[in-house]
Structure formats: C-alpha cells, structure tokens
Structure 1
Amino acid sequence: MSAVTSTRGAAGLRERKKARTRTAIQREALRLFGEQGYHATTVEQIAAAADVAAATVFRYFPTKEDLAVLDDYYSLAEATARSLAAQPADLHPVAAIRAAVRAVFEGLSPEERAARHERDLLMVTVPELWSANLGLMLKGRRLLREVVAERAGRGQDDPELRVLVDAVFGVGLGVLFDSADAEGADPSGRMDEALARLEAALG
C-alpha cells in the first residue's frame, strides 16, 4: 500500500467517524425533542445522551437551532431524484415517483428506515422542527419538479406539471400527518398506497 493510499484511507476513516458522531448527536437531540419538547431540552442533556462533551456538540452544531435542521440527517432527496431519473421514460409521472420512492426505501437497512421514519414523524409533531425545516421541504419540492419536468421534456413552470408535483407533495404530507396519529404506522408503506391511489385517480 502506498503512502498516498494509506493517507487517503485514514482521512476517509476520520470523515466516517465524524459523520457517525454527528448523526449520533442529532439522533439523541431529536429523541429528546420528541420526549420532552424542544425548549425543555438542553445541549448538556443532548451531550450526555450522546456520550460526548458539550463542546463536541457545539463543534458539530454551533447553535441549538442547528440541531433542529435536518438537511443532512437521513436525507433521501438526492437519492430519490436519482432513482426517479432512472425510471423508464414511458411510466406515468406518479407511477415513476412511486417506483423511485419504493426503490430508495427498499435500499435502506432496517436501522436506516427506522431512523428516517422517526425523523419524518418528529418533523410534523415538534413545532420547532417543522419551522426549522420548511426550507428543506421547499427544496425537496423544487427538486422533484425539476426531475419530473426533465423526464417530461417540459418547463418547470408548466401549470399541469406544477399541479401534479404539488399533488404528490400534498399526498406525502398527508401521509406523515396521518402516520403521526397512528402508533406503529409505516409511513413508507402508506406513501406507496397513497401514490397508487393518486395514480389511479389521475388515470
């Protein structure tokens, strides 16, 4: 093994360790936000739950508010966009979105799927998480519109395309709201069923 390869390997290992630490901290923060509320949760409590020093929490998340932003926490937006772009061109847009979402979730490990479900449900039940991630949801809506437009060879401002994307987006939010009120719900399974119904309704 060359010195360059060894150095790159060590650097890659450090980055993976940092990513795991960051994820662990945010996972514990979300758990505490859900259990006792955002304002009642302190950085010191989060640090203790994640088994790190408070200084380590601040190294990864300069403010408590940053812990509520979920851009990099089990985000599936880019993976879903790639999966959607790879779907057969002759598929109805809703059928293609449904297949893309299903493929992405099937590629997750049980632990990743559970973490994603927890993330989504907390986002619609903890007000501070909802407000902190409105920009993230708008970004996802915009990305979905871009990929659907490219597949259809139409402009992103096409009225029919915008309505279709917003219908899918609305269905997704509805599934999350309903799942938050149903103990043990599987949001990904419910999303698949809801998209199937939307596809049938649109013909």
Structure 2
Amino acid sequence: MPDQHSTLRAQRRAETQRTIQAHAIRLFTERGYDATTVTDVAEAAGVSPMTVYRHFPTKEDLVLVDRHGRLVAERIAASSASQPLVRRIGGALIDSAATLTSGGHGDDPAAGEQFLLARLRLMISTPALRARHLDNHYALQQAIVDALGGDATDPDAAFQAQAAAGACLAAMHTALVRWAEDDGRTELPGLIAKALAAAFGDDSVDRVGPEA
C-alpha cells in the first residue's frame, strides 16, 4: 500500500505541475512573459504562489521545465550499443519528438503540438529564456553522454560522445526553429530527421515521414 500511495502522490504532483505550466504558457503568450507575474499564474491555476514555486523554483522554469531529457535518455539507453553514436542519438531525438507531439500534453495531439510551439516561441523571443535555454542545452547534452554509457575513464570516448551529442542537438535546434517558423505545419520528427540527414548523411537516420 505505501507504494500505491507514493504513486498516487506522484501522479497528483505531475498533474498539478502540468496544470500550472499550461496556464503559465497561455498567460505568457497572451500577455507577454515580462508582463505576467508568478502570482498571475498561481491565480489562473487555482493554487498559491508558494505551490507554483514548489514545482517551478524560478519563473523561467515555468517555460523551460519539460520531460524531453528523460525521454531522450531512456531511448538512448534502450538502443543498441553496436549502432553508431549519431544514429543512437538521432533516433532518440526523433522518437522523443514524436512522443511529445502526439500526446505529450494530455490526450490531444494538437494540444501537445500547440503547447510545444508556444514554449518554443517564448524561448526564441524572450532574452531571459534564451540564456537559460542554453543551460538546458548543455544539461541535455550531458544527459545524452551519460545515457550512452561506455568507459567513463576513457577521455577519447567521452570526447566522441560529447561531440556527437552536440552536433545532433545543433541539427535538432535548426529543425525546431524551422518548425516554429512554419507554425507547426510540418511534422517535427520528420524535420529533425531531415536536419540530421543534411548534417550526417541519409544513412545516419531512419526515414521518417514525408520530410525525412
């Protein structure tokens, strides 16, 4: 029974976090990031400001916190170590994008895409978020390196993993910017596959949709 109670608490916590973040993204989009306070977000979500800060320690976290890193790491860890680094990382990035855009925000795929688009536009257009987004980029790069495993005492292997992760993330960023500019009309997984293929060659990724 303690495990069940723990699971229920975790589910409630995750639901509260999703609700707060959904209202935050909506208000930031409607009113502007700088013009919206944490108190505004708390009132819209029906919680106290203290609850908001418990889930999101900073205002920037209301936009930047996501589960992308965990999804990518899980998929890399589950991939075959015999595959080239770029294929392992690229496949994880594509699969994670597919998960997040096809039900990553509730049961409505369109809601998931619109939520991601709104977050991405805020990160691109808001100076305070751009700086923190770079920190998140480095954190995701390290999460990828950790998920790849390998011999942590081998500096050359670690360097290769870091280089491959950084290059793949640069290709993904190019795809994300194009996706935002295209207002989400093109499927994101296909755009990421296309960007990876442009950078590393067609054989570096599996074909994904019409854009791959």
TM-score when normalising by structure 2: 0.72
What is the CA deviation profile of residues 110-148 of structure 1, one whole-angstrom value per residue up to 9, with x for unaligned ones? 331434454344322332222233222111112223445
Where structure 2 has 5 or more consecutive residues not aligned to the other structure, the ranges are 105-111, 205-212
The total of aligned residue pairs comes to 192
Alignment of 1:1-203 (within 5 A): 5=1, 7-61=2-56, 63-70=58-65, 73=66, 75-108=67-100, 110-112=102-104, 113-114=112-113, 115-148=115-148, 150=150, 154-158=156-160, 161-185=161-185, 186-200=187-201
Distance 1:119 1:162, change over 3 A: same
Distance 1:22 1:177, change over 3 A: same
The 2-side partners of 1:157 and 1:184 are apart by 34
AA matched with 2:183:
E
More deviation, 113-122/44-53 = 113-122
What is the CA deviation profile of residues 68-89 of structure 1, one whole-angstrom value per residue up to 9, with x for unaligned ones? 442xx2x221321231233233
Distance 1:196 1:16, change over 3 A: same
Identity of aligned residues (%): 28
Instruction: Give 1:59 deviation, angstroms.
Output: 4.2
- Do the aligned residues in 2 keep the contact of 1:88 with 1:96 (CA within 8 Å)? yes
3-state secondary structure, aligned to 1:91: coil
The 1-side partners of 2:128 and 2:3 are apart by 39
- Do the aligned residues in 2 keep the contact of 1:146 with 1:156 (CA within 8 Å)? no
- Do the aligned residues in 2 keep the contact of 1:98 with 1:196 (CA within 8 Å)? no
Q: CA RMSD in A?
A: 3.1
User: Larger C-alpha radius of gyration, 1 or 2?
Assistant: 1
- Do the aligned residues in 2 keep the contact of 1:43 with 1:54 (CA within 8 Å)? yes
The 2-side partners of 1:188 and 1:146 are apart by 23
